[in-house]
A and B are shown apart, each in its own frame.
Chain A
Amino acid sequence: MADLTGPFRAGSSRGNDGRTDEGRSRRERGQILLVAALLLAATFVVLALVVNSAIFAENLSTRDDVAGSQDALQYRAEVVDTVGTTMVTLNENSDTTHADLRDRLAAATAALADQGGIQQSTAGRLATVAYPGDPANTTHGERIAQDAHERNLTSDDWDSDWTLANDVDGARNVQFNFTHVDTDADQCGFFDHSCPSPFTLSIDGPDGTWTMTVRRQFDLFDEDDGYATPQEEVDITTTNPAGESATCTRVVPMTDDSNLTVDVTGGTANGEVCPALNRLQATGAPLWLGAGTDTPYDVEFTNGGPFNGTYSMVVAGTANGFTLESGVSSDEPYHTDAIYAVTLGYGYHASAVAYDTEVRVAPGEAPP
């Protein structure tokens, strides 16, 4: 840096270096200009760094934690959905053996894997799905169902209270379509608050019993004839072994064309979310099918007589052969072989991510 002071400030008109005062003054102005420019330039560079770091931080905030991980997980979810849809259809439309079901599902999964793989390859990704169709990757089960709309929910022997399956390791896709919900007023006396008796689905396990009841509301005191009067509202109530319960209500008129559909494991009633089927318990887990109890459990119906409709579920284990017809039946409850769950090998390889894992497919299963 040039020295701006010192001998140039001397009072003589000509200094030791022979320069005049006027010359020195011009020289100093030039040097000040240069220093000022350097300072300004340095300031601009610092400002630029500050702005750049802000932009960089903003940019980072828009990125995934692991680049490409979202695509890998999203396609995994799609594979679970597509294979699950196929499994549901195979279970519902096939009256065949476990081995045949495995072979068909393996063929269908291979077809889906091929087609999905080609579509993913157009985006520069290698996606593989493998289901060899052997028993080691498969949880066998039974599909229990009744297809007769006008039949009540009793056993083959017309028992109102009966067991559909003993000691099963799970139940999924539990769905009801009630075509008639008890309207019999004669059973109720004055202010009998336990009336009418509900239809009950019980999951009876080692830690207690989880229940879902379906019951029409009754006006228990009618001034005209002294008898109870059925209302249009129907309550769906779930109770866990600890006694916690929740209820949701749906309007089901007493006409022939009004149905009540309850997707127990899907958590909906008449297509809308039913809080009773997924409300949180004190433990923090939802009050869904089998909450609070443990496997293996029994699946039971109580008071199925005054209720008509169809139902369907897949259990992991064996259905109760004593009370159910074996093979598809159009007028009685029956059970057929079904696949409860399978484990797929899943691989996803892209430029930024490589992911290999096993995924379980059990559509409509409430997590344990």
Chain B
Amino acid sequence: MVASDRGQALTFEGVIAGILLLAAIGFALQVTAVTPLSPSTSSQHVENQLQATGEGVLTSSAQTGALEETILYWDAEAEEGRFHGAGDATFYRSGPPDTSFGDELSAVLGSRNVAYNVYIHYQTAEDVVQTQQLLSQGRPSDHAVSFSRSVTLLDSDHLVLEDGSEGQRLDAVDFYMPDASTDDTVYNLARVEVVAWRI
């Protein structure tokens, strides 16, 4: 009876020790799981860098007027309207537009294995936000970043022709963006959004 008790105690201690070891190993494995900060393409640091770089491109383009030029790079003569050189679609698919902003995007993001979509948000006279896509390079991944910038369009602005020269006034042509303002100075407030992700 005494030997049987000792055997049970031994077994019990062995089992407890095993459970303790397994629990400790399991816990240790859990806390070293892959996190958003683990070295990978989804690293938060990389996303922050991409975001800061992209915001820099948008800011400089807005300052030089390149952003506005690209918004207005619209071929109103084409059937249903489309951006100049976009082919059969209304927006660009193969690469950025042939404008200063397109060149900057290509130089800063395209050369770093970063894919990006560009959207132009604007409002209608009924205060409904609508979106015109400018460029599509696919479906963003889970770790995509987004950055945007406002651009004022005025009633006195003109479309930009394919060769970069000045076209007709906005209110005289069939432009994708309506005059959303009753004011006689402001035409619309566009918001250019770039969604970028590493590939």
Which A residues have a C-beta under 8 Å from some C-beta of B? 18-19, 23, 26-27, 29-31, 33-34, 36-38, 40-41, 43-45, 47-48, 51-52, 55, 58-59, 62, 74-75, 77-78, 81-82, 85-86, 89-90, 93, 104, 107-108, 110-112, 114-116, 118-119, 122
Q: How far is the CB of A37 from chain B (nearest CB, A)?
A: 4
Instruction: Report the separation of the CA atoms of residues A37 and B14 in the bound assembly, to the nearest whole angstrom.
Output: 10
Contact A62 B45, CB 8 Å, known A81-B150, A111-B183 = yes
> Can you list the 7 inter-chain pairs with the closest CB atoms, starting with the nearest?
A41-B24, A37-B17, A115-B189, A44-B24, A111-B181, A30-B13, A82-B152
| Structural contact, A115 and B183, CB atoms closer than 8 A | no
Instruction: Report the separation of the CA atoms of residues A171 and B194 in the bound assembly, to the nearest whole angstrom.
Output: 36
| Structural contact, B27 and A74, CB atoms closer than 8 A | no
Query: Which stretch of B28-36, B75-83, B107-115 is in the interface?
Result: B28-36
Instruction: Report the separation of the CA atoms of residues A58 and B149 in the bound assembly, to the nearest whole angstrom.
Output: 29
Chain A residue nearest to B32 (CB atoms) is A51
| Structural contact, A33 and B3, CB atoms closer than 8 A | no
| Structural contact, B123 and A118, CB atoms closer than 8 A | yes
Partner of B6 from the list A27, A31, A43, A55 (CB cut-off 8 Å) is: A27
Give chain B residues whose Cβ lies under 8 Å from the Cβ of A89: 154, 156, 185
| Structural contact, A37 and B21, CB atoms closer than 8 A | yes
Chain B residue nearest to A48 (CB atoms) is B31
Partner of A118 from the list B18, B44, B127, B186 (CB cut-off 8 Å) is: B127
- Contact sample, A vs B, 19 pairs, CB 8 Å cutoff: A23-B6, A27-B10, A29-B10, A30-B10, A34-B16, A34-B20, A43-B24, A48-B28, A52-B31, A59-B37, A75-B150, A86-B185, A108-B185, A110-B183, A111-B183, A111-B185, A112-B186, A115-B189, A119-B191
Instruction: Report the separation of the CA atoms of residues A107 and B181 in the bound assembly, to the nearest whole angstrom.
Output: 10
Give chain B residues whose Cβ lies under 8 Å from the Cβ of A104: 184-185
Instruction: Report the separation of the CA atoms of residues A43 and B35 in the bound assembly, to the nearest whole angstrom.
Output: 22
Please count how many residues in chain B sit with their CB below 8 Å of the partner chain's CB atoms. Answer: 48
B57 within 8 A of A: no
Give chain A residues whose Cβ lies under 8 Å from the Cβ of B154: 85-86, 89
Partner of A112 from the list B18, B129, B184, B189 (CB cut-off 8 Å) is: B189
Partner of B28 from the list A36, A47, A110, A116 (CB cut-off 8 Å) is: A47
Chain A residue nearest to B36 (CB atoms) is A59
| Structural contact, B62 and A115, CB atoms closer than 8 A | no
B23 within 8 A of A: yes
| Structural contact, A116 and B6, CB atoms closer than 8 A | no
| Structural contact, A26 and B189, CB atoms closer than 8 A | no
Instruction: Report the separation of the CA atoms of residues A29 and B24 in the bound assembly, to the nearest whole angstrom.
Output: 21
Chain A residue nearest to B7 (CB atoms) is A26
Give chain A residues whose Cβ lies under 8 Å from the Cβ of B156: 89, 93
Given A47-B28, A108-B181, A116-B189, 20 further pairs, Cβ under 8 A: A19-B2, A26-B6, A29-B10, A33-B13, A37-B17, A37-B20, A44-B28, A59-B44, A62-B45, A74-B55, A82-B150, A86-B185, A89-B156, A90-B185, A107-B184, A111-B182, A111-B183, A111-B189, A116-B150, A118-B127
| Structural contact, A31 and B13, CB atoms closer than 8 A | yes
Q: How far is the CB of A168 from chain B (nearest CB, A)?
A: 26
| Structural contact, A45 and B24, CB atoms closer than 8 A | yes
Instruction: Report the separation of the CA atoms of residues A104 and B181 in the bound assembly, to the nearest whole angstrom.
Output: 13
Partner of B37 from the list A55, A85, A115, A119 (CB cut-off 8 Å) is: A55
Partner of A115 from the list B10, B31, B45, B180 (CB cut-off 8 Å) is: B180
Give chain A residues whose Cβ lies under 8 Å from the Cβ of B28: 44, 47-48
Chain A residue nearest to B147 (CB atoms) is A74
Chain B residue nearest to A49 (CB atoms) is B31
In the complex, per-residue mask of B45-66: 1 if CB is within 8 Å of any chain A CB, else 0: 1001000000100010011000
Give chain B residues whose Cβ lies under 8 Å from the Cβ of A115: 123, 127, 180-181, 188-189
Chain A residue nearest to B51 (CB atoms) is A70
| Structural contact, B23 and A41, CB atoms closer than 8 A | yes
| Structural contact, B150 and A27, CB atoms closer than 8 A | no
Chain A residue nearest to B152 (CB atoms) is A82
| Structural contact, B35 and A55, CB atoms closer than 8 A | yes
Give chain A residues whose Cβ lies under 8 Å from the Cβ of B31: 48, 51-52
Contact A33 B14, CB 8 Å, known A89-B154, A89-B156 = yes
B172 within 8 A of A: no
Chain A residue nearest to B188 (CB atoms) is A115
Chain B residue nearest to A41 (CB atoms) is B24
Give chain B residues whose Cβ lies under 8 Å from the Cβ of A118: 123, 127, 129
B121 within 8 A of A: yes
Chain A residue nearest to B17 (CB atoms) is A37
Give chain B residues whose Cβ lies under 8 Å from the Cβ of A62: 37, 44-45, 48
B89 within 8 A of A: no
| Structural contact, A82 and B17, CB atoms closer than 8 A | no
Chain A residue nearest to B128 (CB atoms) is A118
B9 within 8 A of A: yes
Q: How far is the CB of B4 from chain A (nearest CB, A)?
A: 11
